[in-house]
Amino acid sequence: MSRPEHSTWRLSVADLVAAGPEEAIDRVTRLAARMLGVSGSFVVIVDGDRQILKSETGLPPRADAASPDGLRLIAGEGALFRHVIETELTLSVDDVRADPRFAGSAFSRSLEIGAFLGVPVGLPDGSTAGAFCVFDRAPRRWTEADRLQLEEFRAVLAGELAFRQEVKQRKHLEQRAFLVSREMEHRIKNSLSSVQALILLSVREGQSASEIRNDLLERVASLAKTQSLLADRDGKGALFADIVTAELQHFGIGTNVWIDGPEVLIGKDDAISVAMVVHELATNATKHGALAPQVKGGVAVRWQKALRDGRTAMTFRWEEWFGGGAPPDAAQTAGQLGFGTELLETLVLRQMRGEMARELTPGGFSFTATVRLADVPA
């Protein structure tokens, strides 16, 4: 027997149970009993081991338990409608008591079913969820007209179920649109906050307007790259390797730049700060260090996962070498306490509550940082 797929977008048996009694479905059940001239009619759905009467008319009162949603739970084996559901075929029994398959059924006796006609009921996704049944208390010879008429009522019931699926899908779409709108609002605010921080960090005393403009353009471009990486993963995060590659690929990965490390996913809130750190190191290397035009050097970036205070963290090391010779004058000047150090301290020590160390030697420069990372939602 096919079962409904577990999908929040599709109508399920659980949805029908949770809705409780529904007048629109009860109306179809009553109309079927009246038009076929039978003692009663019912719609039964099966939810795992539970047999639940979604709608009923003409059944005698019983001591069956009720579900929390007000629907009657059927105790016992329910052989008649179980046969319909499991075979997914119409079942016509003119005399239940004389049929050896169902003569011993306690369900039939307790509900005083003498003649039974049932058709399978499917959900809009094509799975079989239950049965639409009519019965007489006395034996009855079912005709082809009776079967066709019951199938017509099943089609009406199918229309009701299809309408419920449409309503459910619309609610999901509305909810999704609302969440997307909230997420976009959140991202826009974060982006504006990041741009504001970039402006504050880019304006220093003694800079010319041209220098400020160039710094801002470079940092905003770096921010845009990071936002693109976040968008590729639905805004949840970005791989550290992708962040490094985005910043350094134009220098020639594998030629002047080497990167190595395990897969580390950086959450959306940390990714901006991490990217700014990498961008600042790359900018300094371009202006003053191993990637400067007059220096025949290279850069290696290595990282590994770590733990700090029981939380996920990452340690990464940025290494530059100056072609075996002494560092250029510009690199020696950059090694002194200045704007580069202040920005890195702001990002690593204050924003990410991490640790960092810098070292300038005659042959190169190294920067090591350990930053705590927020958990990334699945």
pLDDT computed for residue 325 by the predictor: 45
pLDDT computed for residue 378 by the predictor: 62
* Same domain, yes or no: 245 and 114: no
pLDDT computed for residue 198 by the predictor: 62
Domain-embedded: residue 182: no
Domain-embedded: residue 47: yes
Strand partners, 40: 135
d(CA 209, CA 207): 7
Task: With beta carbons less than 8 A apart as the criterion, state whether 153 and 32 touch.
Answer: yes
Q: What phi and psi values does residue 74 have, to the nearest 5 degrees?
A: -95, 120
d(CA 3, CA 123): 9
d(CA 90, CA 302): 68
pLDDT computed for residue 114 by the predictor: 94
* Same domain, yes or no: 254 and 361: yes
pLDDT computed for residue 207 by the predictor: 64
d(CA 117, CA 81): 9
* Same domain, yes or no: 118 and 253: no
Task: Supply the CATH number for residue 53's domain.
Answer: 3.30.450.40
Q: Which of 169, 189, 223 is the last residue of a domain?
A: 169
Count of domains in the chain? 2
Q: Which of 143, 169, 195 is the last residue of a domain?
A: 169
d(CA 327, CA 292): 11
* Same domain, yes or no: 141 and 288: no
pLDDT, averaged per 10 consecutive residues of the chain (378 residues), comes to 50 84 94 96 88 90 64 77 91 94 84 93 89 95 96 94 88 84 72 65 65 70 77 81 89 86 89 87 85 84 89 91 57 44 81 87 87 81
pLDDT computed for residue 32 by the predictor: 96
3-class DSSP assignment, residue 374: coil
Question: Per-residue DSSP letters for 69-132?
Answer: TSPEEPPS--HHHHHHHHHTS-EEES-GGG-TTTTT-HHHHHTT-SEEEEEEEE-TTS-EEEEE
Domain-embedded: residue 3: no
* Same domain, yes or no: 133 and 238: no
Q: Which of 169, 184, 203 is the last residue of a domain?
A: 169
Task: Supply the CATH number for residue 283's domain.
Answer: 3.30.565.10
pLDDT computed for residue 192 by the predictor: 67
* Same domain, yes or no: 23 and 157: yes
pLDDT computed for residue 76 by the predictor: 64
Task: With beta carbons less than 8 A apart as the criterion, state whether 50 and 65 touch.
Answer: no
* Same domain, yes or no: 159 and 239: no
pLDDT computed for residue 338 by the predictor: 39
pTM exceeds 0.75: no
d(CA 321, CA 343): 22
Domain-embedded: residue 195: no
